[in-house]
Amino acid sequence: MNNELLRAKQNAKEKGAPYRAYTYYLSVPIVMILLYGMLLLNISLGSLGHLTLIFTILAHVQGRKLTLLSKKKYVAPCLIYLGEIYTLIIMFAAFDGILLNYDLLLLIAYAIQLAAVIFFILTAKDIKRAYPNMKDEANEAQKRYLEMKRVAKNK
């Protein structure tokens, strides 16, 4: 019974991977748009910008597991990583007083992040096309696993 439970758990993970990747690939643009909206309203973000990086890493890890997608799934996370590194370089250079065109360089960083948002949305659409029944399959596998777990616990 224990072996069957482990197989059901692994099956639930495999069947749920496309849906998890899809939700992460949709959540990153939503979080970024909300953060930029907060910036426009002059709401202090503090360290909320790191939330985008965390969601990006999670999306990248989940997207790696999907075999039916093209290599385009790597473009959006790589653009976010590039934008974060670029922004760090700009910040350190600004602290040293090296930069005079700070605003222009920040516009380039915003353009990189905008391109990342577009690629995240395009990749989410590709995931939905490649795995049309992902939500149903994930829910069925999860229900099967939970039922087997409940039966094993009662024995």
DSSP state of 133: T
C-alpha distances in Å from residue 58, one per residue of 54, 107, 136? 6, 26, 22
Q: Give pLDDT, residue 149.
A: 86
Give the chain's mean pLDDT: 88
Q: Tell me the per-residue pLDDT of 41-86, one tens digit each, with 9 for 90 and over.
A: 988 777 777 888 898 999 999 989 888 888 888 999 999 999 999 9
pLDDT confidence tier of residue 1, bands split at 50, 70 and 90 = low
Model confidence at 144: pLDDT above 80: yes
Chain mean position to CA 68 = 18
The pTM for the full model equals 0.85
Greater confidence, 80 or 102? 80
Residue 79 · residue 119 · CB < 8 Å: yes
* CA pair distance 112, 139, nearest whole angstrom: 36
Model confidence at 155: pLDDT above 80: no
4-21: average pLDDT: 88
Question: Helix H segments across 41-101?
Answer: 49-64, 75-96
